[in-house]
Amino acid sequence: MTEDGKARILVVDDELSNIELLAEVFDEEYEVLVATDGARALELAASQQPDLILLDVVMPRLDGFEVCQRLKADRATADIPVIFITGMGDNQAEVRGLQMGAADYVTKPINPLVVQVRARNQLELKRARDTLTRLAVTDGLTGLANRRHFDEVLQREYQRVQRSGGQLSLLLIDVDYFKAYNDNYGHIQGDDCLRELAKQMGRIFSRAVDLPARYGGEEFVCVLPDTDLDGAITMAERLQQAIAELQLPHAHSPVASRVTVSIGIACGPSGQKASPLSLVAQADEQLYRAKLNGRNRYCWEGKS
């Protein structure tokens, strides 16, 4: 989807006449990308993330079947619907394409009205699926990732760094004396407070690979792939500074007159028995230490 809300369609065909026809059909309503061979189609699919791919079956070198197979094997492009365009008129070929994950078929010679309707149907289905997917992984109050999505991403990133030998950091974040905040300001303002904090987390943890999430209640968590201890400490400092600059009043907090947070920092993997759960447990232990030592601070293993 483009910034102005237009769906993006990738047209893949080695015949320029077909590309010109399809571009004319879709250009007014959608953004149209074109590729004249399979290799270029794969590049554009990965880099531009089109909402729909119209894919010719018969092409030199990489044919449409091979391109579709590679698209569906790559997590980054697997959910992009593919409509095959073919003049083969072969039921077996059609079945083969559908089994590979193609969403639909359009036969040559291309009927502009038919291809337009089929494309629109697939785009509407994709929008519905994207909405359901987004709702399934998003916390309804804060707009951050929810606990389920956090668990999935942590598991995946942990396995990745185990294979690559990299580092993964985790921040577990708790709003200091939030019960007192709710008791004195009310739950509606408490929800507003959590939303404001979530906005800061989304701004601070801004890399595409970072995942800030609501862990539960007034607790948040952030997965920081490819980040060592020094990097995690820097991010914890930035977050505390950003929250301090909000100056959200908290007259009933024993540690400050404004809203503050305590943060536990953990890095991994470390040790043969290490696991995603052990990394969370380590961050939770450090969060407990931060609270025990006066709150409004961050702690990590080894810090006095």
Residue for token pair 């590309």: 19
Q: Say if 8-135 and 147-300 have the same CATH topology.
A: no
Q: Which of 24, 124, 218, 245 is catalytic?
A: 218
218 is catalytic: yes
| Secondary structure letter of residue 110 according to DSSP | P
Question: What's the confidence (pLDDT) of residue 304?
Answer: 45
Question: What's the confidence (pLDDT) of residue 247?
Answer: 96
DSSP strand E in the chain: where? 8-12, 31-35, 52-56, 82-86, 104-107, 168-175, 211-216, 219-225, 261-268, 298-300
Q: Contact at 8 Å (CB) between 100 and 125?
A: no
Q: Reduced to 3 states, what is the DSSP secondary structure of residue 6? A: coil
CATH number assigned to the domain with residue range 8-135, chosen from the 4 options 3.40.50.720, 3.10.20.30, 3.30.450.20, 3.40.50.2300: 3.40.50.2300
Is pTM, for the whole model, over 0.75?
A: no
Question: What's the confidence (pLDDT) of residue 107?
Answer: 87
Question: What's the confidence (pLDDT) of residue 61?
Answer: 87
CATH fold of 147-300 reads: Alpha-Beta Plaits (3.30.70)
Query: Domain residue spans in the chain?
Result: 8-135, 147-300
Given a cut of 50, the residues of the chain with pLDDT beneath it are 304
Q: Contact at 8 Å (CB) between 300 and 229?
A: yes
Question: What's the confidence (pLDDT) of residue 134?
Answer: 86
Question: What's the confidence (pLDDT) of residue 3?
Answer: 66
Helix, strand, coil % in the chain, rounded to nearest 5: 50, 20, 30
Q: Number of C-alpha atoms within 13 angstroms, CB side, residue 163?
A: 5
Question: What's the confidence (pLDDT) of residue 133?
Answer: 85
Q: How far apart are the first and last CA of the chain?
A: 49
pLDDT in tens, 153-192: 999 999 998 888 889 999 999 999 999 999 999 999 999 9
